Chains A and B, each alone.
Chain A
Amino acid sequence: DIQLTQSPSFLSASVGDRVTITCRASQGISSYLAWYQQKPGKAPKLLIYAASTLQSGVPSRFSGSGSGTEFTLTISSLQPEDFATYYCQQLNSYPFTFGPGTKVDIK
């Protein structure tokens, strides 16, 4: 099975900061990676798929990059509504594992 790790697991940032989250896969997954945002008490929301394709309606301050085993999610200028937990998910092969999550908190 493919394992995903995320770093950092927690980060504290201010409004306007540039934030980068890394997701690493235990083996190559091409570009079969998605990123989700989850706020407390809510279902996750798809942000990015195919590693770098922005889901319709998602603000352009979110971007994704990478392929193979290393991927990044970048928020170019953090907004108050972006404080949440972010998960990556590999979609290369079953089981479609998630990363452990990165919680973005207010500094």
Chain B
Amino acid sequence: EVQLVESGGGLVQPGRSLRLSCAASGFTFDDYAMHWVRQAPGKGLEWVSGISWNSGSIGYADSVKGRFTISRDNAKNSLYLQMNSLRAEDTALYYCVQGVPGDYWGQGTLVTVSS
């Protein structure tokens, strides 16, 4: 059974940093591209960032480019999102997503940016 378990969310002040993690199991992790998608409260889906199976291709939404860094550790079956210079508008539920298109989604980790 495919499982994606996000962690690392929480309440953080504007300008601070946070690192999200996604632990993957139930599939061959390094066979798949992985993505982060977020959803602000009551709003639609926003694709945040994606990384190919070997980290050779990486993309970011314009809204996070230069502030967020995606990475993966295939030996640990894990996906990460380093979020720096956080803003109030980054407040959202962050989903870890397997594949292109997104076949499996985690349940999300909530990030709240507020003073």
Contact: B50 with A96, CB < 8 Å?
Answer: yes
Which chain B residues border A55 with CB–CB below 8 Å? 103
Tally of A-B Cβ pairs under 8 angstroms = 55
Tell me, yes or no, whether A98 is within 8 Å of chain B by CB. Answer: yes
Q: How far is the CB of A72 from chain B (nearest CB, A)?
A: 17
**Separation of A101 and B40 alpha carbons in the complex (Å):** 14
Tell me, yes or no, whether B29 is within 8 Å of chain A by CB. Answer: no
Residues of A in contact with B, size category: 20 to 34
* Main secondary structure on A side of the interface with B: loop
Contact: A100 with B44, CB < 8 Å?
Answer: yes
Residues of B in contact with A, size category: 20 to 34
Which chain B residues border A85 with CB–CB below 8 Å? 44
Q: How far is the CB of A44 from chain B (nearest CB, A)?
A: 6
Chain B residues 1 to 60 lying within 8 A of chain A, measured CB to CB, are 35, 37, 44-47, 50, 59-60
Tell me, yes or no, whether A49 is within 8 Å of chain B by CB. Answer: yes
Contact: B100 with A98, CB < 8 Å?
Answer: no
- Excluding A95-B61, A96-B47, A97-B47, 13 further A-B contacts by CB distance (< 8 Å) are A36-B45, A36-B102, A43-B107, A44-B45, A46-B102, A55-B103, A89-B45, A95-B47, A95-B62, A98-B37, A98-B45, A98-B47, A101-B45
